[in-house]
Amino acid sequence: MAHPHRDRSSRTLAAVGVVSAVALGVMFRVPPRPPPGPLLRVPHVATAPVIDGSVTEPAWQGDVASTGMLASVDGQPMTASSVRAVWSGDQLYLVLYAADADIRATVTTPDAPLWQEDAFRLAFTVPGDPRTRVLFVSPRGTLTDEYVRGDQVDTSWTSGARVGLDVDGTLNDPRDFDEEWVVEMALPLASMGLRGVAGERVGFSASRCDAPKGLGRRCGAWGAPTGQLELTP
């Protein structure tokens, strides 16, 4: 027959063990993994577009990936902005569209800060690399590409991006009303750690801020912080 005191001791030790495990779990709690973000499935095209700012080529008229309009991140109505993508060979091709009544772009020096004026921000995270590859591009075609890790910025990353522009408006002239600007871009897949094989994925997000005439600055985004881009056949 079981000894009653031994049974009570066993139960007590078991209870203490459970409480200790719970306490340790609280003390050393692993942050929950964020839920999967949206996936941008980028189709392959046989004939790559010409990087000239015109988006009338066949590559942009068929099946393309699209973020849709970037969603507001601050509760303010966001000016229409979007990203479209295809890939071909060893390049990712992007069209960045921005409606804009007052286009502001004064910076012409590569790798200079662009976030204070009109620009798109593209971010790529490569599995196994703690750094984020961040690329800014303005309506002037100025590029700033950098590694970001926490609050550390390293401009040694060179994306190799090529840019074509179509600007409908007058840069830096608040007296008139502009309409829009478009960036067409070719980005080497290798600069994002990709080989150019269908099925490959990389973390991806896109964002843009704008200050419409007479209104405060507002920002929109797609994919932050856990969006992904996938190359498809």
Element (H, E) at 60: none
Indicate if the pLDDT at residue 106 is higher than 60. yes
Instruction: Please provide residue 132's backbone torsions phi and psi, each rounded to the nearest 5 degrees.
Output: -105, 135
225 shares a domain with 125: yes
Element (H, E) at 94: strand 91-99
43 shares a domain with 88: yes
Indicate if the pLDDT at residue 149 is higher than 90. yes
Which CATH number covers residue 113? Answer: 2.60.40.1190
112 shares a domain with 47: yes
- Give the gyration radius of the chain's Cα atoms: 24
Residue range 132-161: mean pLDDT, rounded: 97
Split into its structural domains, the chain has a count of: 2
pLDDT tens sequence across 108-145: 999 999 998 999 999 999 999 999 999 999 999 999 99
- The answer to whether 40 touches 223, Cβ cutoff 8 Å, is yes
Indicate if the pLDDT at residue 214 is higher than 80. yes
For all residues of the chain together, what is the average pLDDT?
89
49 shares a domain with 15: no
Which residues sit opposite 98 in a β-bridge?
81, 181
Give 76: exposed, middle or buried? Use CB within 10 Å, 0-12, 13-18, 19+.
middle
159 shares a domain with 70: yes
The proportion of the chain whose per-residue pLDDT surpasses 90, expressed as a percent, equals 80
69 shares a domain with 26: no
Q: What is the pLDDT of residue 65?
A: 98
Write out the residue range of the structural domain in which residue 5 sits: 1-30
170 shares a domain with 76: yes
The Cα–Cα gap between 43 and 29 comes to 40
Q: Which amino acid is at 95?
A: V
Indicate if the pLDDT at residue 18 is higher than 50. no
126 shares a domain with 18: no
Tokens of 231: 């190359």
97 shares a domain with 2: no
Confidence band, pLDDT 50/70/90 cuts, at residue 26: very low
111 or 10, higher pLDDT:
111
52 shares a domain with 121: yes
